[in-house]
Amino acid sequence: MWADTVSHTYRNSVQRAGGLPILLAPVEDEAVPTVLDRIDALLMTGGGDVDPDLYDGTRLKEMYGIDPSRDRFELTLAREAHRRKMPVLAICRGIQILNVALGGSLIEDIPKEIGSDFHSKIGQEVYETFQNVSIDGSCGLAALVGATELGVNSIHHQALRRVADGIHPVAWADDGVIEAIEADDPEWPLIGVQWHPEYLSEVADDPSRRIFAAFIANATRARVATT
């Protein structure tokens, strides 16, 4: 049986930062603008793989959790949020579907293509900072977390390949995998990370809590600007 769910770690992280989390269930494309009219910012969460047909990719046995209904909904959400310059925090699958929505493509399986096996650890390790990420010192993320080297967790076997127009990478893992993105347009408050700050936020990881605090601050500014 299918269900639309979200991990309590996302809910907790948004609430902890002062926001009110609202779960969005898939609706028809024409209803998406109405949905976005009722929220101040969009959190695009992790989850299963994006259908490779959407970016002319190759279907592999390593892929899992492909959900056409969710893909369609989130593609439309991402494109409309981009059009509106709505504040977005995109996490893991979130930056992948956003990249695809704007015309980019994905690495279908990191271990198969690159050979790295440290990107996907589950269990209690999701609450630990076991992977190193290097951040462009001139980007907004570096200023936000106060560092150009960051310890993060990692729960993914796919990543950005061809980066879409309108966004650019600002952080990388040691094997070159893209770990964070920002918008080319400084008027679009986009924070996109491949790791999972919602888990690290649970154990009081300061950079992770700063990411959610910035997301809620962006949402607040957007709300004020429209009232």
Which whole number is the average pLDDT over 155-183? 97
State the pLDDT at residue 4: 83
State the pLDDT at residue 227: 73
State the pLDDT at residue 1: 63
User: pLDDT by residue (tens digit) across 30-58?
Assistant: 999 999 999 999 999 999 999 999 999 99
State the pLDDT at residue 62: 95
Neighbour tally for 11: CB within 10 Å: 17
pLDDT at 61 over 80: yes
State the pLDDT at residue 128: 95
- For the question of whether the overall pTM of this predicted structure is more than 0.85, the answer is yes
Q: Report the range out of 2-6, 159-163, 222-226 with the highest average pLDDT.
A: 159-163
Of the CA atoms within 13 Å of residue 18, those in its CB half-sphere come to 10
Instruction: Please name each of the domains of the chain with its CATH number.
Output: 8-225 (3.40.50.880)
DSSP 143-196: HHHT-SEEEE--B-S-EESSPPTTEEEEEEETTS-EEEEEESSTTS-EEEESS-
Catalytic residues: 92, 196, 198
Q: Which helix (H) or strand (E) holds 60?
A: none
Determine the Cα–Cα distance for residues 40 and 221; give it in Å rounded to an integer: 9
